[in-house]
Structure 1
Amino acid sequence: MRIAVSASFLSALLAVSPAMAADCLQERAIYGDADGAYELRFEPVGSTSAVTSNHFKVTVGKTGLVLDGIVMQSGEPERANGMIMNNCPEGDVTGDDIAACTVWQGVIYSVGADGKVASLPGEGIAAASQVLLPDFGPSIRNSAIWGKATVAPWDALTLKGCGQ
């Protein structure tokens, strides 16, 4: 027995409901790109005195690459400025060392279920329905990980789940 499923029904079924975003805090949110090649998974910062407001990992599908991400609130007006890094050295490092391992950096925006663009929520706040990392795809193509990663992600990633 075959069941015909319309594209609009499937899209509605797969879309993240506003209730899911409201039930998930930003530090547990899991996002994916349109091609299913990249997953961005937020995790708790673990300290109220930390300089960073959010931490996350980016998994590059079928490569074994896991990139580290941080968000720091800065600027005027204050914005969520993010960095995605690959194998950065630890300890006493220079700006050149950090620049060499940085895959992407820029402002991370949230997009609500109503389509409104805002700053990325901090910990303890309901997760955004989507996150927008401007020029994320082109940055991947121009980074040292290109070659292992063979698909550039979309700049918008959609909430697909909530971690533990």
Structure 2
Amino acid sequence: MRLAGPASILSAFLAVSPARAADCLQEQAIYGDADNAYELHFEPVGSASAATSNHFKVKVGKTDLVLDGIVMQSDEPVRANGMIMHKCPEGDVTGDDIAACTIWQGVIYSVSADGKVLSLPGEGLEAAAQVLLPDFGPAIRNSSIWGKATVAPWDVLTFKGCSQ
């Protein structure tokens, strides 16, 4: 019987080791909640002149629901203000139209691997180890999608992988 050398052991470890946020850009990061009921998939904004700094989709497990998310940076203090919406009308809409289709809104924080709470990174920057959406779970429970979604998510979602 031949014993594996250090290079073989390292190769095997790397093949099964989980993806690290440090190896991924924010616009490719995928996050999941503790119950694996919700996945948040960041995607490229697609324009340097866009008013948004991040785009993402929220997939609700065991349903066909996919929610749209955007992040806009505020000024003084700089904060990543997020909105998660479902079936919003397009084109010339009013504030009431947007409010009616908004599932959650608030500041999105990133949590680094060493526990520091920071603003969500923009495109082209290293992905956060975790994202924190304060009151995300209660917002889902009080939203128009409750009933189709039957599990409220945790407010902290952890890095799961990196899309290509």
Task: Normalising by structure 2, report the TM-score.
Answer: 0.88
CA contact (8 A) 1:16 1:159 kept: no
* 1:158 paired residue number: 158
Mapping of residues 7-156 of structure 1, within 5 Å:
20-156=20-156
CA deviation profile, 1:86-128 (whole Å, cap 9, x unmatched)? 0000001000000000000000000000000000000000000
Residue 78 of structure 1, CA deviation: 1.0
CA contact (8 A) 1:53 1:71 kept: yes
Secondary structure at the aligned position of 1:115 is classed as coil
CA deviation profile, 1:31-66 (whole Å, cap 9, x unmatched)? 000000000000000000000000000000011000
State the aligned residue count. 149
Secondary structure at the aligned position of 1:87 is classed as coil
RMSD: 1.3
| 16 and 110 in structure 1: CA distance in 2 versus 1, 3 angstrom threshold | farther
CA deviation profile, 1:4-29 (whole Å, cap 9, x unmatched)? xxxxxxxxxx9956xx1111000000
Unaligned runs of 5+ in 1: 1-13
Task: Normalising by structure 1, report the TM-score.
Answer: 0.88
* 1:3 paired residue number: none
How many percent identity over aligned positions? Answer: 82
CA contact (8 A) 1:56 1:68 kept: yes
Distance in 2 between residues matched to 1:65 and 1:21, nearest whole Å: 26
Structure 1 stretches of at least 4 aligned residues deviating more than 6 Å after TM superposition:
none
Distance in 2 between residues matched to 1:15 and 1:83, nearest whole Å: 33
| 131 and 93 in structure 1: CA distance in 2 versus 1, 3 angstrom threshold | same
Secondary structure at the aligned position of 2:66 is classed as strand
Residue 76 of structure 1, CA deviation: 1.8
| 15 and 117 in structure 1: CA distance in 2 versus 1, 3 angstrom threshold | farther
Residue 75 of structure 1, CA deviation: 3.7
Distance in 1 between residues matched to 2:93 and 2:99, nearest whole Å: 10
The one-letter amino acid of 2:143's match is S
| 16 and 82 in structure 1: CA distance in 2 versus 1, 3 angstrom threshold | farther
* 1:9 paired residue number: none
The one-letter amino acid of 1:121's match is P
